[in-house]
Chains A and B, each alone.
Chain A
Amino acid sequence: DAKTTQPTSMDCAEGRAANLPCNHSTISGNEYVYWYRQIHSQGPQYIIHGLKNNETNEMASLIITEDRKSSTLILPHATLRDTAVYYCIVPPSSARQLTFGSGTQLTVLP
């Protein structure tokens, strides 16, 4: 399984870009990188996923390094409502369920 490593916590000023890193140095060629977040007292929410190309949607951008050993989730203009735990997940291609690690607690400061 490709293990992911994320910082335990990060702060970001409101209105600034939040850049959340994730290391997944043992990722295999056909394994995707997924990002979810969990706002306090809510169920997790899917954000974005990618294989090797950078991806962007209405919520965030995902930048994956060329060697695919790390990625960065970018929230371009963080708001207070983006305060949450952010999970980077690399499910094995044979896996049938998502396994959540500890994630990064992002706190957006006013």
Chain B
Amino acid sequence: GAGVSQSPSNKVTEKGKDVELRCDPISGHTALYWYRQSLGQGLEFLIYFQGNSAPDKSGLPSDRFSAERTGGSVSTLTIQRTQQEDSAVYLCASSHGGGGTEAFFGQGTRLTVV
């Protein structure tokens, strides 16, 4: 595709359930980022992948959050035992390199935990 694709676009889940959010980055981009944005708030960094390097997980808020990037392409963000405070828009971005090079964002997944 031409841009970063995220699925699903909307997800409603019950408290305590696990969810998986998917990100398809732009082909050839080595860097992939996950952010989340709560209603009316700024963007909160979650995790960063760059090529084959160990991911930077410094932004993950708890051990209920994890992410994988398979084959240097598609990434999945998993939230276990979801809580209401996990409700937010989860945004994925990719770029040719890290450190602030031009990043392209997807439209996000709106997660609502009820």
Contact = CB atoms under 8 A, between A and B. Distances in A.
A46, A98, A99 interface centre (most CB from chain B within 10 Å):
A98
Nearest to B110: A41
A68 interface: no
B14 interface: no
B65 interface: no
Contacts of B42: 100-103
Interface in B41-71: 42-43, 45, 48, 50, 56, 59
Interface in A70-94: 89, 91-94
A96 B99 contact: yes
5 contacts: A43-B93, A43-B105, A89-B100, A98-B45, A98-B103
Interface residues of B, number: 23
A99 B46 CA distance: 10
B25 interface: no
A46 B102 contact: yes
A94 B48 CA distance: 14
Given A43-B107, A98-B33, A49 B102 contact: yes
B21 interface: no
B43 A44 contact: yes
B91 A43 contact: yes
Interface in A11-64: 32, 34, 36, 38, 42-46, 49
